[in-house]
Amino acid sequence: MSQKRIETIWLVNKYAMPPQYESRLRTIKFAHYLTQAGYKVYVFGSSVMHNMGINLIEDGKSYIKKKYGDINFVHIKTLNYYKSSGIARILSDLQFHYKLCSIANHFEKPDLIVASTYPYFCNPLMDYAKKNRIKYITESLDVYPDNFVDFGLINPLNPLMKRMYRIAKRNYAESDFSVISWPGCYQYMINKKWDKDSGGPVDLKKIFYINNGVDLNDFNKWKEENTLDDIDLKSDKKRITYLGSVRLVNNVMQFIKAAELFADRDDLLFLIFGDGPDRILLEDYCKKHNLRNIKFKDKWIDPKLVPYVVSQSYINILNYVSSDFAKYGISSSKMFQYFAAGKPILCNINILYCPITANNIGIARELTTPESYAAAIDCLLSLSSDEYNAMCERVYNTAKEYDYEYLTNKFIGIIKKLEQ
């Protein structure tokens, strides 16, 4: 007996935001291209803009409907946790998912729910889908919950971690399909002994890998149409740019200490775009050591300006505190924007399943000291003009493999399997 054709899709991602705020593009790009392909798509996200302190609902409404271009968006009111404790964020996550289930009947019943987020210790949305005979895809965008352990935030023996592992395993086992954005997802299931061959409940034939990506049409358009009148971005110096959060897990101090070793180079400029709890400390360090070759730029920039900023770099930087979280690959949205910029990439950790190394488009290896980090920078600076330009071309060609229109077509192929 054939399955019902899937026509209406809910993309549920608590952290999805309107295009003017969004830097993690996956959900809204899938929404756009799925709509273009003829599906009726609704995005459900929080009213709180993550890490911005902005709440789109200031009154007593439980939710609001918005339309951004061709994207139908529903913002569900949740607790604003900006600069609050981790408990506030957990409560906000719980509130979002339970409130969505409570108001779900206000909207057209979907044929498919694709959920990129769920509360840490339960999954009421999957229960709702099962009860209402709705197809359900778990979408995993990072190695959760292992990232809490890998970043040293929670002891792996903590009872809360055990609970989160149980919920994660259940999600993979009981979802109709799972779509995972990190390339080592199959090995992850095997290492956890969650796969059926190891006696676990997870069918690897129901696991699909689709990485994050970049919309090349938007990127190239925005790069030309949205520029910053910034003297540092227009100087003759070679810019080495870090863009992203300035917090513990990004280890930006290591980047700064490597840049410090180039203090006598007048032809180089190290730029840091982004904000976070470590920014003031790092700014103070640079002032104390009179590091004029390092400049802290905008704490936040419009996503439409990102293509211009990263395209003005000579080298773009990915920076992390530990290689542990990259043992199954990474799916950082920023990495794919760097690919689209067509400039070499330097990453300070070793990444398995690494597109940077595989495509010879930069350096990604363990850089544990300022000296080793500086040597890697110098290696890229020392490329001849022909070598550098050839690498830039390879970088951009790599981006084509992660164009969101192409990735959405892969996702549609998975949806078609659900109809069989």
Q: Is residue 3 included in any domain, yes or no?
A: no
Q: Is residue 347 included in any domain, yes or no?
A: yes
Domain that holds residue 306: 216-402
Whether residues 72 and 170 fall in one domain? yes
Whether residues 207 and 107 fall in one domain? yes
Q: Is residue 172 included in any domain, yes or no?
A: yes
Whether residues 44 and 168 fall in one domain? yes
Q: Is residue 229 included in any domain, yes or no?
A: yes
Arithmetic mean of pLDDT, 7-25? 91
212: tokens are 């994050």
Share of the chain above pLDDT 70, in %: 99
Per-residue model confidence as pLDDT tens digits over 328-349: 988 888 899 999 999 999 999 9
Q: Report the CATH number that the domain containing residue 331 is assigned in CATH.
A: 3.40.50.2000
Whether residues 84 and 148 fall in one domain? yes
Count other Cβ atoms within 10 Å, centred on residue 33: 22
Whether residues 56 and 85 fall in one domain? yes
SS3 track for the chain:
CCCCCCCEEEEECCCCCCCCCCCCCHHHHHHHHHHHCCCEEEEEEECEECCCCEECCCCCCCEEEEEECCEEEEEECCCCCCCCCHHHHHHHHHHHHHHHHHHHHHCCCCCEEEECCCCCCCCHHHHHHHHCCCEEEEEECCCCCHHHHHCCCCCCCCHHHHHHHHHHHHHHHHCCEEEECCCCHHHHHHHHCCEHHHCCCECHHHEEECCCCECHHHHHHHHHHCCCCCHHHHCCCEEEEEECCCCHHHCHHHHHHHHHCCCCCCCEEEEEECCCCCHHHHHHHHHHCCCCCEEECCCCCCHHHHHHHHHCCCEEEECCCCCHHHCCCCCCHHHHHHHHHCCCEEECCCCCCCHHHHCCCEEECCCCCHHHHHHHHHHHHCCCHHHHHHHHHHHHHHHHHHEHHHHHHHHHHHHHHHCC
Whether residues 337 and 273 fall in one domain? yes
Q: Is residue 115 included in any domain, yes or no?
A: yes
- What is the pLDDT, as a whole number, of residue 2? 52
- 8 A C-beta contact, residue 418 and residue 136: no
Whether residues 367 and 248 fall in one domain? yes
Mean pLDDT of the chain: 94
Of the ranges 16-25, 61-70, 350-359, 379-388, which one carries the lowest mean pLDDT score?
Answer: 16-25
Whether residues 118 and 262 fall in one domain? no
Per-residue model confidence as pLDDT tens digits over 132-143: 999 999 999 988
Whether residues 382 and 288 fall in one domain? yes
Per-residue model confidence as pLDDT tens digits over 48-107: 998 788 999 999 899 999 999 999 999 999 998 887 777 888 899 999 999 999 999 999
The Cα 104–Cα 109 span in angstroms is 8
Q: Is residue 49 included in any domain, yes or no?
A: yes
Of the ranges 23-32, 334-343, 366-375, 400-409, which one carries the lowest mean pLDDT score?
Answer: 23-32
The total number of structural domains in the chain stands at 2
Per-residue model confidence as pLDDT tens digits over 177-235: 999 999 999 999 999 999 999 999 999 999 999 999 999 999 999 999 999 999 999 99
The Cα 47–Cα 90 span in angstroms is 15
Which pTM does this prediction carry? Answer: 0.87
Whether residues 157 and 282 fall in one domain? no
- What is the pLDDT, as a whole number, of residue 367? 95
Whether residues 385 and 409 fall in one domain? no
Name the band, by pLDDT with cuts 50, 70 and 90, for residue 1: very low
Q: Is residue 1 included in any domain, yes or no?
A: no
Q: Is residue 298 included in any domain, yes or no?
A: yes
Whether residues 313 and 207 fall in one domain? no
